[in-house]
């Protein structure tokens, strides 16, 4: 696999960039976590074999704790978020997190070995909201930019958006959520999300 | 392929006719013909899902990767030429120069474009086309359109497709069977490149139509502004 890593990993990894060390700069966090996950992917035979359960386990243990599922859900909900009851909000966050995990599991399984460039952070050192930029190099095709919107929280930096080639994951769900809410209210959206997630482990 | 383009024009013109028939207000201002587009999307799903997608998947499964890469490089080299032309139209001198450099290097040293030596030599491939050039001239996207077999576009970007199609060069090959083989290969190649992204859409989307529409429009904005899109407000 040479110096290359997997694009899916990068997506995952930085998606939820971590923070065991609150002092660590957000770009350093993205890089460290993506490299950690790349190592697991390279060396874990189950992941190599495409075992979805194992892939999900890696994502849940390594990445999920470091991303802000609540903020992602609130952003995707837009103005509908405040109309949801606390119980609905909790269910939405749970379901949306599961959907994101499933999506990333699929991405991880899909992409072939690719080289990832981590770009220097262009931000004020005191900034609490930054965009960490990475680029996936593909042979014979334009590179794909993968950027992570990250916010400084008490426990360190957390990712609240992943922007792949200019397509923001969170913004992309906004139309869908709106549509579901218009058709069946917030409970309708929760039902659709749960159905989409099917038997997936929460 | 040619018939697909006729269809595009047909869709564009019929969409205009159908606009008057829409009774429910559009959910997305960018997509005033949503009922029509959704119908076209259903047609696409049936044809693509049952015929095109399985065939292209077989091509990916049974063609050795170096062969597929070579085919992609060949069509990519032609695309680079049009990237150079359209970037020039938009006044993007650096992008035009790089893309033209890629075409020259790959054509001369890469066996007529079969090998992408320029990427190894660090001349990155760029993304630009007629629709984006029109955008830099201030022409708005116009209504969103979903065209069966061709996928998501807009009036502006679709017009770009038409220009690109008639600009050639494959259409100017006098030998009809050779031309058709190249059209076919080009179509399979570009469809194959969308396969992996598509399975992610399958995983992610609650409603594929809406998901694809938003992703397409976001992507085009991003390419138009070369990544410097003013960030959207969090709460609208």
- For residue B173, what pLDDT is reported? 81
Write out chain B residues lying below 8 Å of A177, CB-based.
Answer: 206
Q: How confident is the model at residue B232 (pLDDT cuts 50, 70, 90)?
A: low
Residues found in chain A = 202
Mean pLDDT confidence for A85-109: 83
Terminal CA-CA length for chain B? 41
* Residue B178 neighbours by CB distance under 10 Å: 11
Mean pLDDT, chain B, rounded, equals 81
Q: Where are the alpha helices (DSSP H) in chain A?
A: 7-15, 26-43, 45-48, 52-58, 69-77, 86-110, 169-197
Size of interface A-B (CB pairs under 8 A): 93
Kindly determine whether residue A175 and residue B206, on different chains, have CB atoms separated by under 8 Å.
Answer: no
Distance from the Cα of B111 to chain A's closest Cα (Å) equals 15
Nearest CA in chain B to A98: B204
Residue B204 with chain A: CB contacts under 8 Å: 99, 103, 169
Of B97, B187, B201, the C-alpha closest to B149 is B187
CA triplet A10, A11, A14: central angle to 5 degrees? 70
Looking at residues B191-219, what average pLDDT do you find? 86
Is B196's CB within 8 Å of A111's CB? yes
A155, B138 contact by CB (below 8 A): no
Q: Give the residue from A131, A137, A162, A172 with the most B CB atoms within 10 Å of its CB, the best one to mutate.
A: A172
Chain A residue numbers touching B210 (CB-CB < 8 A): 175-176, 179
Interface contact A184, partner B, CB < 8 A: no
**SS3 state of residue A141:** strand
Residue ranges of A 103-122 with Cβ closer than 8 A to chain B: 103, 105-107, 110-111
pTM of this prediction exceeds 0.95: no
Please report the pLDDT score of residue A13 as a whole number: 53
Neighboring chain B residues of A103 at a CB cutoff of 8 Å: 200, 203-204
Nearest CA in chain B to A178: B27
pLDDT at residue A10 greater than cutoff 80 = no
pLDDT bin (cut points 50, 70, 90) of residue B110 is confident
Residues 6+ apart with CB under 8 A from B36: B14, B15, B18, B22
Q: Do A175 and B28 touch (CB under 8 A)?
A: yes
CA A55/CA B121 separation, integer angstroms: 35
Q: Which residues of A touch B219 (CB under 8 A)?
A: 165-167
The ipTM, to two decimals, is 0.73
Query: Is the pLDDT confidence value at B1 over 60?
Result: no
* Mean pLDDT value across residues B7-22: 47
- Residue B7: which residues within 8 A CB-CB, separation 6 or more? B147, B148, B149
Residue B196 has pLDDT above 80, yes or no: no
The pLDDT tens digits for A26-64 are 888 888 887 787 778 778 888 778 777 887 788 888 888
Residue-wise pLDDT tens digits, A100-134: 877 776 666 665 566 778 888 887 878 888 999 88
- Backbone Cα Rg of chain B: 19
Mutation choice for B interface testing from A81, A135, A162, A166 by most B CBs within 10 A: A166
Who has greater pLDDT, B219 or B10? Answer: B219
pLDDT of B18 strictly over 80 = no
Q: pLDDT of A57-78, one tens digit each?
A: 888 888 888 889 899 999 999 8
- Whether B123 shows a pLDDT value over 70: the answer reads yes
More confident of the two residues B189 and B7: B189
* Among B202, B223, B235, beta carbon nearest to A78: B235
Query: Which of residues 58 through 77 in chain A touch B, CB cutoff 8 A?
Result: 75
Give the pLDDT of residue B88: 92
- Res A9 pLDDT > 50: yes
Nearest CA in chain A to B216: A167
8 Å CB contact between B114 and B74:
yes
- Partners of B203 on chain A (C-beta within 8 Å) are 102-103, 105-107
Instruction: Tell me the pLDDT band of B145, cut-offs 50, 70 and 90.
Output: very high
Structure tokens at B120: 């190894």
pLDDT at residue number B116 = 82
B227 and A166 in contact by Cβ < 8 A? yes
Q: Please say if the pLDDT value at position B224 is more than 50.
A: yes
Question: Peptide bond before A97: cis, by omega within 30 degrees of 0?
Answer: no
Per-residue confidence band for A7, with pLDDT thresholds at 50, 70 and 90: low
User: What is the DSSP secondary-structure string of A154-198?
Assistant: TTEEEEEEEEETTEEHHHHHHHHHHHHHHHHHHHHHHHHHHHHHT
3-class SS of residue A149? strand
- Give how far A104 is from chain B: nearest CA, Å: 8
In DSSP notation, B62-79 reads: HS-HHHHHHHHHHHHHHH
φ/ψ of residue B151, rounded to 5: 95, -160
Tens digits of residue pLDDT in B42-77:
999 999 888 888 988 888 889 888 888 888 888 888
Of A179 and A50, more confident:
A179
């Amino acid at each position: 696999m040479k110096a290359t890593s997997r694009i899916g990993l990068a997506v995952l990894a930085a998606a939820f960039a971590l923070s065991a060390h609150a002092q660590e700069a957000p770009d350093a966090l993205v890089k460290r976590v993506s490299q950690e996950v790349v190592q697991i992917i390279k060396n874990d035979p189950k992941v190599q074999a495409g075992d979805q359960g194992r892939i999900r386990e890696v994502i849940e243990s390594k990445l999920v704790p470091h991303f802000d599922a609540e903020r992602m859900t609130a952003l995707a909900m837009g103005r509908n978020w405040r109309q949801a009851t606390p119980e609905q909000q909790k269910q939405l966050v749970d379901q949306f997190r599961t959907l994101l995990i499933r999506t990333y599991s699929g991405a991880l399984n899909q992409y072939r070995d690719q080289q990832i460039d981590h770009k220097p952070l262009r931000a004020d050192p005191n900034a609490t909201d930054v965009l960490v930029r990475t680029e996936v190099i593909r042979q014979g095709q334009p590179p794909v930019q993968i950027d992570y919107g990250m916010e400084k929280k008490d426990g360190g930096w957390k990712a609240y958006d992943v922007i792949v080639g200019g397509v923001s994951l969170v913004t992309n769900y906004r139309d869908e959520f709106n549509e579901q809410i218009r058709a069946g209210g917030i409970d309708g959206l929760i039902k659709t999300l749960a159905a989409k997630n099917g038997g997936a482990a929460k | 392929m040619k018939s697909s383009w006729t269809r595009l024009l047909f869709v564009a013109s019929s969409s205009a006719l159908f606009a008057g028939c829409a009774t429910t207000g559009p959910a997305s201002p960018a997509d005033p013909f949503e009922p029509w587009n959704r119908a076209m999307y259903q047609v696409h799903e049936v044809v693509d899902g049952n015929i095109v997608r399985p065939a292209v998947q077989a091509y990916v499964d049974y063609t050795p990767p170096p062969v597929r890469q070579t085919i992609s490089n060949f069509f990519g080299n032609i695309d680079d030429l049009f990237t150079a032309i359209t970037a020039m139209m938009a006044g993007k001198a650096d992008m035009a120069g790089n893309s033209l450099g890629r075409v020259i290097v790959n054509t001369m040293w890469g066996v007529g474009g079969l090998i992408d030596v320029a990427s190894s030599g660090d001349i990155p491939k760029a993304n630009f086309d007629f629709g984006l050039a029109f955008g830099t001239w201030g022409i708005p996207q116009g209504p969103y359109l979903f065209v069966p077999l061709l996928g998501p576009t807009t009036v502006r970007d679709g017009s770009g497709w038409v220009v690109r199609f008639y600009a050639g060069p494959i259409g100017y090959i006098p030998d009809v069977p050779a031309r058709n083989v190249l059209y076919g290969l080009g179509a399979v190649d570009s469809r194959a490149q969308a396969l992996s992204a598509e399975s992610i859409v399958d995983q992610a989307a609650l409603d594929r139509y809406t998901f694809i529409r938003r992703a397409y429009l976001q992507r085009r904005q991003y390419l138009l502004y070369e990544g410097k899109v003013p960030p959207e407000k969090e709460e609208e």
